Amino acid sequence: MFARRTQWNLATNRHAQAVERARLSGCPLLDLTAGNPTAVGLAYEDARILAALQHPQALTYEPAPLGLLPARQAVAAYYAGHGVTLPPEHIVLTVSTSEAYTYCFRLLCDPGDEVLVPSPSYPLFDFLADIQDVRLVPYELVYDHGWQIEFESLARAITPRSRAIMVVHPNNPTGHFTRPWELDRLNHLCREHELALVADEVFLDNPISAPAPFSFADNQGALTFTLSGLSKICALPQIKVAWLAASGPSELVAEAMAKLEVIADTYLSPNAPIQWAIPELLSTGPGIQRQLNQRVATNLATFDEALSTARLVTRLAFDAGWYAVLRTPAARSDEELAILLLEEDGVLVHPGHFFDFPAAGYLVLSLITPPEDFAEGIRRLLHRIESFV
């Protein structure tokens, strides 16, 4: 009865089952995967956020396929803050970055066409591609004192069915962001093979160290779609506001925008009260980002201090984002290790295979975890792993 694209293996894996058991048992857990910013003790500007949702013009219906102009102007102002001049008519509002990906895939790909995705990376992409009948083809990020794109693997992955190269900038979970020399090579590949670039910038405002990452919204070297939204830049995932912004050669951008307008007009997805709230909500972003970046810095300092005496555990260098990648002995699978930490120590971590790390020996931790939980979780984690010798 159901489409082949929905034939997912929906059985929960061993780690997910262990998490369920641990939660049901009621034992307190130290959750070092905490990724929901609304549940980690940040001080939001509650009154401003709630007041923004009561805009009087929300009582009027005014269909606007790309999104209401004041909202798109506010998004353009966000990019102006990153030194990018972006005309509001090159912006399309969506309810989520996931929906923005969907629009890009619908615009660029016929069924069976391919999109090149970085590996390791964020796990949601597989489902997004399945639902759109797009085939994801991984290209490698390699680690050598820091992450970078492995361009030979990227070039090898390109076929006549390739339509776009995706970059997650900064990447989740590696924390790598694209350097100017990498952008030049990406543009070159895109022009040579008539590909578009799709850049996911949800963590753009979370650099760990200078220089901060540039925005792809300024890229003129190839047709580029830059995706972001309030879920990360204002730490408001429940508000459901995101966008895609087109840049690049003007004829291609004009054609893309005309087609995107039809796609967006078919759904008219973001609701009016939220769209009217966007200018005010976006203005709360810098305050919450200061807290997030402070939180990440605090946890990272705790982590590095604890690691300074560890013999078996190191962390990988990274540039930005909310996550840290841990290198652990590969004697047992990362799933087994994560289950051991959960069951013996009450510490919840992401096994690396969740993000498609190529081998055992990687764990991923959230640096936005409340600092007391983070410090105690790290203490227990290191105690457990260091006892392996």
Ligand X SMILES: Cc1ncc(COP(=O)(O)O)c(C=O)c1O
Residues that bind ligand X (CB under 6 A): 96-98, 122, 168, 172, 200, 202, 229, 231, 237, 242
End-to-end CA distance of the chain: 53
174 or 345: CB nearest ligand X: 174
Q: Residue 32 or 339: which CB sits closer to ligand X?
A: 32
360 three-class SS: coil
Q: In the complex with ligand X, which residue's Cβ is closer, 172 or 187?
A: 172
* Least distance in angstroms from the C-beta of 232 to ligand X: 7
Q: How far is the CB of 350 from ligand X (least distance, A)?
A: 12
Nearer to ligand X, 200 or 345 (CB): 200
Sign for the pseudo-dihedral over CA of 143, 144, 148, 152: negative
Nearer to ligand X, 124 or 331 (CB): 124
Nearest distance in Å: CB 231, ligand X: 3
Q: Which is nearer to ligand X, 172 or 339 (CB)?
A: 172
Instruction: Supply the minimum distance, in Å, between the C-beta of residue 202 and ligand X.
Output: 5
What is the 3-state composition of the chain as percent helix, strand, coil, each rounded to the nearest 5?
45, 15, 35
Give least dist CB 340 to ligand X, A.
26
Task: Kindly write down the DSSP assignment for every residue of 164-212, as one continuous string.
Answer: EEEEESS-TTT-----HHHHHHHHHHHHHHT-EEEEE-TTTT-BSSSSP
Helices assigned H by DSSP within 207-328: 230-233, 250-267, 272-283, 285-307
Give me the least distance between CB of 337 and ligand X, in Å please. 23
Q: Which residues of 100-116 are buried (b: 16+ CB within 10 A; e: fewer)?
A: bbbbbbbbbbeeebbbb
CA-CA-CA-CA torsion sign (315, 316, 322, 328): negative
